Chains A and B, each alone.
Chain A
Amino acid sequence: MMRRKALGTIITVITVIIMLYELFYVNITKGGIGVKGAVSIDAALLASAFILILIGPWLWLGEVPVAIKKFVEAKTGRRL
């Protein structure tokens, strides 16, 4: 569990850094992310971030929030 959380945290932090770097630094200095009609490193990095931002926080925060679990337990009376 701890490993999973650590991996999730690392992925999330790296992904956020990539997004901020591409959207603010690369876009402002180059006037866009990537090259028209080609696959550039910048665009590939941002596209990877698009996928990784889904995985990182999920590994980090776990599957079911405690708030939802408790809510369901209270309503159904069954222990999850």
Chain B
Amino acid sequence: MKKRLSILFSLMLVLSLFLSACGGFEKKNESAGDKGKDGDKAANVPQELHVNIKTEPFSLNPGLANDSVSANVLYQTFEGLTRIKDGKPELAMAESYKVSDDQKTYTFKLRDAKWTNGDPVTAKDFEYAWKWALDPKNQSQYAYQLYYIKNAQAYNEGKAKAEDVGVKAIDDKTLQVTLENPTPYFLELTAFYTYFPVNSKIAQQNPKWYTNAGDQYTSNGPFKMVSWEHNNKIVLEKNENYWDAKTVKLTKIEMVMVNDTNTELSMFNNGELDWAGMPTGQLPPDSLPKLKEEGKLHVQPIAGTYWYKFNTEKPPLNNVNIRKALAYAIDREAIVKNVSKGEQIPAMAAVPPTMFPENKKGYFKDNDVKKAKEYLKKGLQELGLKDVKDLPPITLSYNTDDAHAKIAQAVQDMWKKNLGIEVKLENAEWAVYIDKLHSGDYQIGRMGWLGDFNDPINFLELFRDKKGGNNDTNWENPKYKQLLIDSQKQTDPEKRKELLKEAEAILMDEMPVAPIYFYTNTWVQKDNLKGVEMSGLGDVQFKWAYFK
């Protein structure tokens, strides 16, 4: 019996090896075939793109979407009045536009365009989509993106009627938009997904049109969605009805949902993906040095700032000199080089250099230990303390994530070495963490801000009101506030910029936040993939992409 059992066991082992070997052969043949196709017939390269979008999108209704996953699908399937190319808005659904002298009224002339089902795209579709998103009963979490339009906020808050909202279809091809304030970046906003049109014919009949692929899901962009397997993958194909279809070279985009960075990169290395990393996915932090060494890593700065927020009402952080001491004693260069490793840009300012190019230098010197010690001394004096040891205990909080944990530990070590301040670390799950931050139950907290649109106001207005939704620092400064309010009425771009710069200087002098770095996108891609368009906000468009 003993013998028989061991024979049986070895048989099973052999069998399983055999099975797996078979699997291997099949696989190899397949990939060999693929390579043949890629290499030999350069003229006939399959124009099929495989990317990873990590997770199921929140919603593929442009009026409801509020996340980057949805955004990166919608930018391929839909199109707004404008589209961002090379960082600048260019006309898309709009053929031309006129701006009134007070810069508050835009009149767009639409081009002849069709929905994927052949219906014409009309001004009505825009008006319908925007008002739908603003309608409080539709609970769009991104409706506030439309608040630049006159009475949009009032309508969204139930204080005005739909008719009062400043968007009107004059005729099928003419759309008139009235704004609250002159908004110099309005043409950038119209490229944003909340400003996309929706096929009003279908949407009015079928309120659930956006939940699945099929003939009810119509879009007006370069690609159409042909299948959507929830939590698994989305398949897009070229939209032959698109007005600029001749520019679109990709015939198919397959978007898989794999939420593991190592798996994503391995799939890329295995030829199962053509693109790995941001903005649709992410690269494992530990892979970056090797990829850089091999010359495969692509890096592009984006409009985002990683910073530590100080709760300015909790001692000792209520003292500006202590805050400055902490901010100056961080070695950002070392962090981006040796800890985060994504070629991020050390941040000594709040607004990313994609908006203020001079912010690469910033308002103070990185790792200025000497100054930091002076500030610390001054701060201790003001607090009536003799020694660093007498400082009230400080806790640095972050939401659980490998990258945040590493940076926090590095900063903890720097503060200890440079200032002798011992800081406790505390991490929490995202929802718990956000709750703590928003309710002011923290001392120093990690946070990042990614721009919604390409204008500095998006970063600076965070700190305008003490109880503004995303301030969290409890900091407020009347002069700062006034500068921002003035900037809204200023129609001259240069003067407006000066006002904003002045405000930023105040922010960096009072230091309710210690900036750490400006974000970058890091990714790897197939060498023969060209023409992928990424905006400074980190969105991706495949309209012009092709394989060479």
Partners in one complex: no
> Chain B: residues with CB nearer than 8 A to chain A?
none
Could you list which residues of chain A lie within 8 angstroms of chain B, going by C-beta atoms?
none
